[in-house]
Amino acid sequence: MKILFLFAGQGYHADSLFDIFRTDKKTMNLLKIMSSAAEIDFLQNDLEMTNPHSVQSIIGAYQLTLFSRLLPLFTNHQVDLAGYSLGEISAFLGSINANHQDSFKLFRYRTQLMTSIVNNNIFAEYDLLSVVGQFILEEIQPVIAKHNCYIAIINSIQHVVIGGKISDLRHLITALSQYPISHAKFLGVYLPSHTDFYSDKSKQFQRFLDENYGFYSLKYPVISPLELNKIYNARQERALLGQELCTTLQWHKVCALIGEYQYNLIIDLGPGDSMTTILNKANTELFNTPLITASHYNSLKGLCNAIISLTSSYQ
């Protein structure tokens, strides 16, 4: 059986993120250990889901916890991973089976690197803008560039994510009003991920990855939104993660690849169900592929039971 785990990116703001684990004693104990390693209490009621200085570690902890609890269900199956933006960092850490200290060391460093461009005297200086419409991408690209903004992620030919300073993005929204735009929404990430704002940070990030994670190997292949194929080599994946910091992610093409790989089951780990939405809108061929969205379940037990029910015929 061929399984794909999807790791979403930032933009999920509900502080109920860890509620799915609350009835599972083993996972709650694991989260206490992870909280100590991350120096963040993941079980508190008021998680700072919009704080760019902590949210990468929070989302990463959720994803790695859920992945580690579900992975034993697929011991004898083929497992692939794909991550959207921050999610690819989690996918990388999940694939190398990094220990807690190394996992949060990476989340913290990436956070430090990405927030280093932010003027601490200006609240919400940068952000990502999700734009949906019947536009022609080549026609709006010059408009985006004119406003000192960049395309960060292409979800589909009708859905792009644009990074820039919030003041510039607001002017861009006005300029794009002459095009068939149906939806423009700030994601509340407060960082211009995957844009030229990080062009001088890319090599620095790759150097950190090589120095601290060079002894790890990938246990599961990761689908790359830059190379547009499965990456089996940890060194190559580290280099790609460095490049991705300042490079547009071709997620519409990843969606097409996922369809071509013909998985028997796709599991959207979340947080939220944004990856499910992106997949369904970008690739109609996937409608025949069973897709389980973790955020649609109230408990880990319910999620596991749904997976076992779907996979039992493949045993």
Percent of the chain with pLDDT over 70: 97
111 and 10 within one domain: yes
What is the structure's pLDDT at 131? 97
Positive or negative, the Cα torsion across 274, 275, 278, 279? negative
Instruction: Tell whether 93 is covered by a domain.
Output: yes
263 and 151 within one domain: no
Instruction: Tell whether 172 is covered by a domain.
Output: yes
Q: Which residue has the tokens 């068939």?
A: 180
Mention every residue, 6+ apart, whose C-beta is less than 8 A from residue 58. Answer: 17, 40, 42, 47, 48, 49
pLDDT range class, residue 286, cuts 50, 70, 90: low
Instruction: Tell whether 196 is covered by a domain.
Output: no
- Per DSSP, helices labelled H in the chain are 25-38, 55-70, 86-96, 100-115, 137-146, 166-175, 202-213, 234-244, 251-261, 274-282, 300-311
- Beta-bridged to residue 110, according to DSSP, are none
pLDDT range class, residue 315, cuts 50, 70, 90: low
Instruction: Tell whether 193 is covered by a domain.
Output: no
208 and 172 within one domain: no
pLDDT range class, residue 149, cuts 50, 70, 90: very high
145 and 21 within one domain: no
183-208 confidence digits (pLDDT tens): 999 999 999 999 999 999 999 999 99
78 and 25 within one domain: yes
pLDDT range class, residue 312, cuts 50, 70, 90: confident
Asked which of 158, 186, 214 is the last residue of a domain, the reply is 186
154 and 58 within one domain: no
Question: In b/e form, how buried is each residue of 264-284, taking b as 16+ CB within 10 angstroms?
Answer: bbbbbbbbbbbbbebbeebbe
254 and 107 within one domain: yes
154 and 14 within one domain: no
219 and 101 within one domain: yes
159 and 57 within one domain: no
Spatial CA neighbour of 21 closest among 299, 267, 295: 299
132 and 109 within one domain: no
Q: Which residue has the tokens 């599991």?
A: 267
CATH at residue 211: 3.40.366.10
Task: Tell me the mean pLDDT in the region 235-255.
Answer: 96
3-state SS assignment for residue 82? strand
The Cα–Cα gap between 93 and 81 comes to: 11
Question: Model pTM?
Answer: 0.95
Number of domains in the chain: 2
Q: What residue type is 301 in one-letter code?
A: K
Percent of the chain with pLDDT over 90: 84
Mention every residue, 6+ apart, whose C-beta is less than 8 A from residue 174. Answer: none
pLDDT range class, residue 76, cuts 50, 70, 90: confident
SS (H, E, C) 246-290: CCCECHHHHHHHHHHHCCCEEEECCCCCHHHHHHHHHCHHHHHCC
Instruction: Tell whether 192 is covered by a domain.
Output: no
Q: Residue 177's domain spans which residues? A: 126-186
CATH at residue 144: 3.30.70.250
Instruction: Tell whether 228 is covered by a domain.
Output: yes
Instruction: Tell whether 121 is covered by a domain.
Output: no
Q: Report residue 117 as tokens.
A: 């461009």
237 and 107 within one domain: yes
Task: Tell me the mean pLDDT in the region 46-63.
Answer: 91
pLDDT range class, residue 50, cuts 50, 70, 90: confident
